Structure 1
C-alpha cells in the first residue's frame, strides 16, 4: 500500500478536486484507491461529505479539528485512522488541511511514508519562491507541483516564466490545470436555496448543474441564438413575461428563474413540465437576482458528479499522472500508462 499526500500553498487551491480526480482515474485503471482527510481547519468540513457522495468513501471518524500545531498524539491518531481507511487499498490519497504548514505536512508525510504533491492555486504573482518552504521541508518526499486554475490568457506566462523558475528551484512541474466554468457551477437546488426560490412545477430535478445564468429579455434573434448558444444555463426572466419564458423553453435550458414573485401562467407550467425544466419563483427583481448570484459563484464547492468527471478529464489532459503513479510504485522514472 502506497500513500500520496496532497498539500497546498494556500486554502482553496484545489486539493479536494485533485484528490477526487486522482482516485477516479486510478480506479478506472483497476487500482483500489481510498481517500482520506485526517484533519480539518474546523469541526465541520464539507470535503468528507464530497468524498462520501462522489467516491463512496467511508468517512466515519474523520476529519478531526486541526489546531495551530500538530502534536505527536495527533500524528499517532491520524496514523491509526490511516490503517483503518487503507483496508485492502493499493493506494491511499490523503488531503492536507487547508491551513497546514510545510513543517506539519512533513511530519505527517514521514509518519505515513508518503509521496507529496503540492497544488498551488494560480495567481499572477505566483513564483517559485512562494513554494520553496515545501522543497526545503519535504526533501525527497516531494514528487512535484501542480498549478491549478490557470486563467485563459495566463498559460503563456506560466509556461515561459513560472515553469522554468520551478525547475531552477529544484521542483518538478507535474502540470498546469486551466480554470473551467463547470467547476464554478451550482445545482438547481443550490440555486433555489441561495435565492430563496420556490418551485412551481411538479417533481423538479434539482440535481442538474447550472453553469451559466442569463437574463431573458426581448431581442430580434431567434430563441436558439438567444438562449441556446450556451449549455447548462439558467434563464432569469420576469414572471409576467410568458412570451420570453416560452421562447426559452423552446431550446434546451437547465431551469427558469421567474422574478418579482409572479407565478407563471398554466401553459408555461405545462410546457416546462413537458420538457422537464424546473421553474422557480423568487421575490426579488431581475437585477437584484443577478446581483445575488455573484455570491453563489464565489462559494462554489466541489460537490457534483459532473464536476468530478470534468476535473478528472482536465487532470488526464494536463497532469503527468504517469509520473505520480510511478512515484507511488517506487519507480523514479515516469512511464506512460495505457
Structure 2
C-alpha cells in the first residue's frame, strides 16, 4: 500500500496529532502501520521520538501495510517529490484563510486525498465548512477545539518555567488540564484543593501548609514558585506518592503567565490520555478515501 504524507501550510497545525490518531485507527483495524517524521524543522526530533514509542505502530517500515509520513510545515513540493508514490493529506488550523488552504491543496494535484481543518470552533463550524467548499477545498474531516488536546504536558511546563524537578520520571507526559493556584490564606486547606481535582497546584515555595494540603488532596503535581528551599517534610510527603514537584525561581504571576502562553501552542507530546482522546475524535472518519 502506498504511503500517506501529511502536509500543512503552517506549523502547529496538528499533523502529529492526526498522524497519531490515524496510526491508532489503522492498528485497531488490524493493519500494521509505521509512522515516520521527515527532518527539516525544530519539532522533528521530538515528533520522531513520539512515533517510535507509539503503541500499535511498527518500526519495520518495509513490512508495514500502511505508512504514514509527517512532513515539515510549509513547502509541499519538496516533500511530495521525496515520496513520489505517496498520497497526500493536508492538515490546517481553522485560522488559515480558506483561499490559502485551497492554493496549498493544489500543490498536491491528483495525489491529494483531502484536507482536515483542526481546532474548529463550534460556533464557526458551519461557516468555515461552507467557505472551504466555496474555495474548492475537498474536506475529509474536521477536528473540534478540544481542551485536553490543547493542554500542555508537564514536560512543556518544565521548559517554560526553567524548572527543576523531583519525582518526574513517570509524569512528563501528564496533561496539565486543571491547574489551580493556591489561595493566599491557609484556611481553605485540603478541602479547597480536593474540590477542584487539580492536575497541578501552583503554590509559593514559602507556604508549606498549603503544599501539604495540596499533596494530601491528591494533587497531580506541585509547581513551587519563588525559588526558596522546600521543607524536608514536604519533600518526604511528595516522595511517598511519587508526586512530581516543579521548582522555579519565578514568582507566581510570571509562572502563571508562562503556563497560559503554552496552552494551545505546545507541540503534541502524546501520552495515553491525549492518544485516547484524538482516537475518539477520529472514530467516525472514513479511511477508505485515503488510499483510493
Aligned to 2:89: 117
Asked if 1:176 corresponds to 2:151, the answer is no
Deviations along 1:101-122, one digit per CA (max 9) or x if unpaired, are 3x4455456x11x332211111
1:202 to partner: Cα distance: 6.1
Give the aligned partner of residue 99 of structure 2: 129
CA deviation profile, 1:32-58 (whole Å, cap 9, x unmatched): 111233442469643222212335654
Contact 2:173–2:271 at 8 Å: present in 1 too? no
Among 93, 99, 108, which residue is 2:68 paired with?
A: 93
Larger Rg: 1
Instruction: Name the TM-score, length of structure 2 as normaliser.
Output: 0.83
Counterpart of 2:240 (choices 261, 268, 274) is 274
Asked whether 1:261 is paired with 2:224, we answer no
**Aligned partners of 2:227 and 2:106: how far apart in 1?**
58
> Per the alignment, do residues 116 and 203 of structure 1 end up closer, same or farther by CA in structure 2, a change over 3 Å counting?
closer
Give the C-alpha shift of residue 100 in structure 1. 1.5
Deviation at 1:284, TM superposition (A): 2.7
- Cα deviation, residue 193, structure 1: 4.5
Residues 243-297 of structure 1 deviation map (CA, whole Å, 9 limit, x = unaligned): 2222212323111122222333343333323333223433232223223334554
Counterpart-to-counterpart distance in 1, 2:103 and 2:149: 29
SS in 1 for 2:108: helix
State the secondary structure of the residue aligned to 1:6. Answer: strand
Give 1:289's aligned residue.
255
Matched, 1:207 2:182: no
Which whole-Å CA distance do the structure 1 matches of 2:107 and 2:203 have between them? 54
Residue aligned with 2:67, SS: strand
Distance in structure 1 (CA, Å) of the matches to 2:156 and 2:116: 30
Counterpart for residue 336 of structure 1: none
Taking structure 1 as reference, are residues 146 and 237 closer, same or farther at Cα in structure 2, changes over 3 Å only? same
The equivalent position to 1:305 in structure 2, one of 245, 267, 271, is 271
Richer in helix (by share): 1
* Structure 2: distance between partners of 1:204 and 1:138: 42
- Structure-2 change in CA distance of 1:277 and 1:37 (3 Å): closer
CA shift in 2, pair 1:278/1:43, >3 Å: closer
Do the aligned partners of 1:197 and 1:280 also contact (CA within 8 Å) in 2? Answer: yes
* CA spacing shift, 1:228–1:275, aligned 2, 3 Å: farther
**For the structure 1 residues 277 and 52, does the alpha-carbon distance in structure 2 shift closer, same or farther, using more than 3 Å as the test?**
same
Structure 1 unaligned spans of 5+: 59-84, 331-338
C-alpha change, 1:208 and 1:273, in structure 2 (3 Å) is farther
Tell me, in whole angstroms, the C-alpha distance in 1 between the residues paired with 2:131 and 2:155.
44
- The answer on whether the counterparts of 1:257 and 1:280 sit within 8 Å (CA) in structure 2 is yes
Displacement, 1:218?
A: 3.8
Task: Show the counterpart of 2:112.
Answer: 142
Cα offset for 1:303? 2.1
Computed over aligned residues only, the root mean square deviation of the Cα atoms, in angstroms, reads: 3.0
SS of 1:51 mapped into structure 2? helix
* 8 A Cα contact 2:116 2:141, kept in partner: yes
Count of aligned pairs between the two proteins: 288
On the 8 A contact 2:225/2:248 being kept in 1, the answer is yes
Partner of 1:5: 5
